[in-house]
């Protein structure tokens, strides 16, 4: 998707920016997701990606970068030479845009953004805004899971529980989106396409009595786990396992070990694995630019890889991106050791959260996704809810055709 500088009103201008300019802006916004890092476009090569800047103009005419968006474009499934339709795109902004809200508001930014992208050929703009809307504590969710299994009238969905925290700012943003004509995602207990609305994250900081934020120790993070998870994790640390890290060299070997375990895991669990090239691109791209890092970790016993993981970090967040394990030596709990190792990496980097990926909010006994929620909360992860991915339909007819096309591909 090619875009040209485009004024939107007198105060804001949008135009493509360089990766370097984008990275400098994100460095001042540690809450930004790695999926807004311009390097992420190099990983997602099936999309046309570019960095877009939102500039605020002062009374003196000077401009300042007030927001950024990594936009990933995907064409309609028609030949490029097709008149009109050949240039139309889905414009996807994963976990963005990122705004300096002291300089620009969502009410200003979003109309300017949709106008700019529609003029560049977007028939649909999809974005998953960053930030937490609500959070439920790990222990409370574990208790609710147990209650849902035993008591018929117990809550059957995480969202029915009183949250431990709720963000009034995100509630206001939700209303702004509705006012501007954006379409809210439908509530679902299934895993959505794209980024999930509910995720599991382990907090790595705590608030002191005077309100200051203080980093936890690895022992304090262990203390959040269920007794079984804590016991297995401690046993893994005594199981004569060695963790090898791609950051220490032998990148190709670590990637090869991960891919072998990952493909074996995919075969046993019945999902289609990503190709090895995808992980090579990820490791290469996310270790450029100085803002993020990617590591491939392998837990060995007597020279044999038993478990592997792909770890990503940027700003406030460490993230367990992918994992795989062997059926050999299961009682050594090699995957547990890798989780502990990633927590320690995130703590050492000053991260505020360690993410374990998406979950379903269903508490219902017998729910297919319940086991994942149970496992991640036993690891000490809180359940966090975002606003999810919202759509702005520039062309409702084309958006419907594209939705039907994508649905047919997943059948």
For residue 2, the model assigns a pLDDT of: 53
Q: Write the burial class of residue 24 (CB in 10 Å: 0-12 exposed, 13-18 middle, 19+ buried).
A: middle
Q: Distance between CA atoms of 255 and 252, rounded to whole angstroms?
A: 5
Q: Distance between CA atoms of 322 and 308, rounded to whole angstroms?
A: 8
> What is the phi/psi pair of residue 384, to 5°?
-115, 140
pLDDT single digits (tens) 312-367: 999 999 999 999 999 999 999 999 999 999 999 999 999 999 999 999 999 999 88
Q: Distance between CA atoms of 79 and 85, rounded to whole angstroms?
A: 9
Per-position pLDDT tens, the chain of length 411: 655 444 444 589 999 999 999 999 999 999 999 999 999 999 999 999 999 999 998 877 789 999 999 999 988 777 777 766 778 889 999 999 999 999 999 999 999 999 999 999 999 999 998 899 999 999 999 999 999 999 988 999 999 999 999 999 999 999 999 999 999 998 766 655 578 899 999 999 999 989 899 999 999 999 999 999 999 999 999 999 999 999 999 999 999 999 999 999 999 999 999 999 999 999 999 999 999 999 999 999 999 999 999 999 999 999 999 999 999 999 999 999 999 999 999 999 999 999 999 999 999 998 888 999 999 999 999 999 999 999 999 999 888 888 777 666 643
Q: What secondary structure does DSSP assign to 364-382, as a single string?
A: -TT-TTHHHHHHHHHTTPE
pLDDT single digits (tens) 152-162: 889 999 999 99
Nearest to 38 by CA among 26, 53, 51, 54: 51
Q: Distance between CA atoms of 71 and 52, rounded to whole angstroms?
A: 7
Classify residue 332 by its DSSP letter. G
Nearest to 71 by CA among 104, 100, 40, 30: 40
For residue 8, the model assigns a pLDDT of: 45
pLDDT single digits (tens) 1-47: 655 444 444 589 999 999 999 999 999 999 999 999 999 999 999 99
132-151 as b/e: b if 16+ CB within 10 A: bbbbbbbebbbebbeebeee
Residue 43 near residue 281 (C-beta atoms within 8 A) = yes
> What is the phi/psi pair of residue 122, to 5°?
-75, 130
Domain architecture of the chain: domains with CATH: 6-130+389-409 (3.40.630.30), 134-204+360-385 (no CATH), 215-351 (3.40.630.30)
Q: What is the pTM of this model?
A: 0.93
**The token pair that represents 341 in the structure block:** 């190792």
């Amino acid at each position: 998707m090619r875009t040209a500088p485009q004024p939107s009103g007198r105060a804001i201008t949008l135009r493509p920016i360089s990766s370097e300019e984008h990275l400098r802006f994100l460095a001042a916004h540690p809450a930004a997701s790695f999926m807004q890092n311009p390097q992420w476009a190099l990983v997602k090569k099936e999309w046309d990606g570019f960095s877009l800047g939102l500039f605020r103009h002062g009374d003196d005419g000077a401009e300042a970068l007030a927001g950024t968006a990594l936009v990933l474009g995907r064409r309609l499934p028609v030949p490029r030479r097709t008149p009109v339709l050949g240039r139309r795109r889905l414009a996807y902004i994963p976990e963005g845009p990122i705004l300096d809200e002291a300089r620009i508001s969502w009410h200003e930014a979003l109309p300017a953004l949709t106008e700019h992208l529609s003029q560049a050929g977007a028939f649909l703009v999809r974005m998953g805004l960053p930030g937490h809307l609500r959070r439920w504590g790990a222990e409370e969710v574990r208790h609710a899971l147990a209650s849902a299994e035993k008591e018929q009238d117990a809550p059957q969905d995480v969202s029915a529980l009183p949250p431990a925290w709720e963000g009034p700012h995100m509630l206001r943003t939700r209303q702004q989106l509705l006012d501007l004509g954006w379409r809210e995602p439908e509530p679902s207990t299934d895993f959505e396409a794209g980024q999930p609305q509910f995720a599991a994250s382990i907090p790595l900081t705590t608030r002191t009595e005077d309100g200051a934020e203080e980093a936890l120790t690895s022992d304090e993070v262990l203390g959040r786990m269920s007794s079984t998870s804590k016991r297995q994790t401690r046993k893994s640390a005594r199981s004569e396992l060695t963790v090898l890290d791609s950051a220490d060299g032998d990148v190709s070997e670590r990637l090869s070990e991960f891919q072998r375990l990952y493909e074996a895991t995919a075969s046993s669990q019945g999902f289609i694995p990503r190709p090895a090239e995808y992980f090579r691109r990820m490791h290469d791209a996310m270790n450029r630019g100085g803002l993020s890092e990617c590591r491939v970790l392998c837990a060995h016993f007597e020279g044999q890889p038993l478990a592997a993981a792909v770890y990503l970090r940027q700003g406030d967040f460490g993230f367990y991106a992918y994992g795989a394990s062997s059926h050999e030596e299961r009682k050594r709990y090699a995957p547990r050791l890798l989780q502990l190792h990633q927590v320690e990496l995130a703590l050492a980097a000053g991260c505020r959260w360690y993410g374990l990926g998406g979950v379903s909010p269903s508490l219902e006994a017998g729910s297919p996704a319940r086991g994942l929620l149970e496992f991640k909360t036993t690891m000490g992860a809180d359940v966090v809810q975002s606003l999810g991915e919202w759509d702005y339909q520039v062309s409702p007819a084309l958006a419907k055709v594209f939705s039907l096309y994508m649905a047919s591909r997943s059948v």
